[in-house]
Structure 1
């Protein structure tokens, strides 16, 4: 008896350039496990479309003429009890808009010129709850700014073990890699990561790592 197929990951594509939207729709629709359920050409359309279509992932451009990806991301995080995962698209990875979107709650970012396979895999990972985190790029974005007093106060609430795990997260290590590094179970790491996110008020690992860099608890040279 054939096992039932897993439900497709549903995606809303948001970009002000029609050519980009068409390209993304084409490459994602070619994947058997991904379904593009809608498109938008400005961030002002995102919230009502998400409320109607309920996509798993929003593939979000950061630079749009009326409402940009930062504001659209913040609205989704603030106004929906169960917002979709947000994957930011950018032309330049050191764009301040990317940093703003990550702080607002996006799970990660990708270059618009990334290979089709990488974009599709990123959509799958984000849908599963992972963060698409490039430590070197996030480090450049975060450490270009002064230490933030609020971030330092939040990290002060972490235990010694939680701080240690946060530093490993800032190096880009997965739960499995952290488990091997510290010789503890993955379930233990998962519990610590959950506590870290709660104490930092972070929506995901990316926000937690940004806070670590802002607070000065993670060494930029080690990331």
Structure 2
């Protein structure tokens, strides 16, 4: 019998998921309301699979997955539940080789199939999530290919702008006049093919600048 650990901060979701999976014959070894409790329960109960909400309070589902991967631990396998298609979080989950990824709105229909596949050693990712990830990775690759390299100063200006600093604040941080900052900002916009600070922030994250 596959032994499961569940983590979600919504009691109704947690209990409903536990009831559904118990009815399907799975053994629920722990039900955790936050990530810290889940981390402790993983060490105590050694479940086969941990089913984790991606944004559970405390140590998030991604943080727990990251820790398991950094230790090189074979157990538990990890299934991530997500209520929204946040591209950055989903891409990180895929890059961390989550064993399963399911949209919460599809849990009732797909979680059993996901667990059964994961238990047998097959990675299972919701089709809607997979389409979004593939599209996002393709856009990131296209951006990376299309962008021109920034100078060291343009990189500094872009990094600070992506963190939300105004031109005046960037100038004070780097010892530049505001007009010089505007010049470097314009160059960065042109080279990265963006037209707003929001687009610049997204591009900076894609390129690892932020």
Q: TM-score range by the shorter chain?
A: 0.5 to 0.7
Structure 2 residue 56 is the aligned partner of structure 1 residue 61? no
Alignment partner of 1:143 is 2:138: yes
Rg (Cα) greater in structure: 2
Cα distance change of structure 1 residues 67 and 147 upon mapping to structure 2, 3 Å threshold: farther
Q: Note if contact 2:100-2:124 (Cα within 8 Å) is conserved in structure 1.
A: yes
Residues 12 and 37 of structure 1 are in contact (CA less than 8 Å); yes or no, is this contact kept in structure 2? yes
Aligned counterparts of 2:71 and 2:36: Cα–Cα separation in 1: 14
Cα distance in 2 for partners of 1:43, 1:144 equals: 32
CA RMSD of aligned residues (A): 2.3
Q: Which residue of 1 aligns with 2:23?
A: 30
Give the number of the structure with larger relative contact order, counting CA–CA contacts within 8 Å between residues 6 or more apart.
1
SS at match of 1:114: helix
Contact 2:5 2:31 in 1 (8 A): yes
The answer as to 2:20 corresponding to 1:18 is: no
Moved over 4 A (4+): none
Query: Under a length normalisation based on structure 1, what TM-score does the superposition of the two structures give?
Result: 0.57
Q: If each structure's helix is expressed as a fraction of its own residues, which one has the higher value?
A: 2
User: Matched residue pairs, number?
Assistant: 142
Question: What 5-or-longer segments of structure 2 have no aligned partner?
Answer: 145-205
Cross-structure match for 2:73: 81
| TM-score scaled by length of structure 2 | 0.60
Taking the aligned partners of 1:73 and 1:37, their CA distance within structure 2 comes to 18
